[in-house]
Amino acid sequence: MDNQQNRTEIAQLGEFGLIRKIKSLANQNIDTIKGIGDDAAVFKVNRENVLVSTDFLIENIHFDLTYTPLKHLGYKAAIVNFSDIYAMNGTPKHITVSIAISNRFSVEAIETLYSGIQLACEKHGVDIIGGDTTSSEKGLIISITVIGEANQKDIVYRNGAKPGDLIAVTGNLGAAYMGLHILQREKAVFIANPEMQPEIDTNNAYLVERFLKPENPRSFIQFINNENIKLTSMMDVSDGLSSELLHIAEQSNVGFEVFEAQIPIHPNTEAIAEQFKMDPTTCALNGGEDYELLFTFDPAFESNFESFEGITIIGSIKPKDFGTKLHSKGKNLYDIKAQGWKSF
């Protein structure tokens, strides 16, 4: 048991403070190239570089089975793990899947969950090679470990951004967050009146799919390697754009500026945000679960991206003393602070 007289609440540190604490206690042997603190760990096995990452998904914390089909959940559980490997410019190859299940789940339910995992694996050329199963007093817990590979010279970390680099993202941001709000709204309506059916129109369907069935920009990874484009840093947008920008700034020891008008937001995201009386930019900055890629690169490569659809330059890296700034559409300058997903 912990010492109650010298007790620090985990919430005081937060997820990333806790990770830093754990990192300070961890050893690192000669074969470890990158340990705790990036999207995936990197180590050598017989001179080959191996990437490893793992994620927990816990019922009623990370997902709600009221509106999450088990097949979609399985698919998403795999995809979010693949995303960590792609964010290092690697290729996911194998996963292990561990689950804790209560007696409210049938064999058929678990088969449906695994069918979603297998669908994602088939799409990305990944094998399920093992895992573990155990019981849970209530609810469902999923833990997936993904193993990938990459050439040493091609691996992209979070700590390589330098002043003068451009900042860009793939796809659009904030859609998954609005999809979650739609699902939560329909859940509340159903609880109030079980006779009511969900109202998911065409615009809503796009956003709901972005939340329930995210996709990885694997084609972008293939593109930069085919074009021999060198990125200076990269990570996936899982906790919100603001959090990810600050991670790169902290680990690269730099500042940055981004422009609100350049942040890519889908028209459906803007429309639904207006319905919920929310600011679309806030959704993009703090929503999370988009699983797009945030990256930096030398301006010399800017013209190379012209042939790839779906890349948006949103700002640039500055010296550390510049700070972390957002230029608003109203020409005001604000400090960016992380307000995305908090695990504790």
Instruction: Examine the domain organization and report whether 125 and 264 are in the same domain.
Output: no
Q: End of a domain among 109, 128, 154? A: 154
Query: What does the pLDDT read at residue 344?
Result: 39
Instruction: Examine the domain organization and report whether 180 and 328 are in the same domain.
Output: yes
Task: Look at residue 238 and tell me if it is in a domain.
Answer: yes
Name the residue with tokens 């937060």.
Answer: 14
Instruction: Examine the domain organization and report whether 311 and 174 are in the same domain.
Output: yes
Q: End of a domain among 103, 121, 154? A: 154
Task: Look at residue 4 and tell me if it is in a domain.
Answer: no
Instruction: Examine the domain organization and report whether 116 and 179 are in the same domain.
Output: no
Instruction: Examine the domain organization and report whether 124 and 266 are in the same domain.
Output: no
Task: Look at residue 269 and tell me if it is in a domain.
Answer: yes
Instruction: Examine the domain organization and report whether 249 and 188 are in the same domain.
Output: yes
Instruction: Examine the domain organization and report whether 307 and 262 are in the same domain.
Output: yes
Query: What does the pLDDT read at residue 337?
Result: 82
Instruction: Examine the domain organization and report whether 57 and 194 are in the same domain.
Output: no
Chain centroid to CA 112: how far?
A: 24
Task: Look at residue 18 and tell me if it is in a domain.
Answer: no
Task: Look at residue 12 and tell me if it is in a domain.
Answer: no
Look at residues 255, 278, 276, 274 and name the one whose alpha carbon lies nearest to residue 335: 255
CATH at 307: 3.90.650.10
Do the Cβ atoms of 169 and 290 come closer than 8 Å? no
What HEC string does 121-179 produce? HHHHCCEEEEEEEEECCCCEEEEEEEEEECCHHHCCCCCCCCCCCEEEEECCCCHHHHH
CATH at 118: 3.30.1330.10
What whole-number distance in Å separates Cα of residue 191 and Cα of residue 195? 9
Instruction: Examine the domain organization and report whether 150 and 170 are in the same domain.
Output: no
Strand pairing partners for 170?
A: 311
Query: What does the pLDDT read at residue 196?
Result: 65
Helix, strand, coil fractions of the chain, as percent rounded to 5: 40, 25, 35
Instruction: Give the count of domains, the chain.
Output: 2
Residue-range definition of the domain harbouring residue 85: 25-154
Q: What is the block-wise mean pLDDT of the chain (344 residues), using blocks of 10 residues?
A: 63 62 56 58 65 92 94 97 96 92 90 95 91 88 94 93 98 97 89 69 86 93 95 96 96 97 97 95 94 97 93 98 96 83 46
Query: What does the pLDDT read at residue 328?
Result: 96
Neighbours of 104 (CB within 10 A): 11
Task: Look at residue 11 and tell me if it is in a domain.
Answer: no
Strand pairing partners for 42?
A: 34, 51
Task: Look at residue 64 and tell me if it is in a domain.
Answer: yes
Task: Look at residue 43 and tell me if it is in a domain.
Answer: yes
Query: What does the pLDDT read at residue 19?
Result: 57
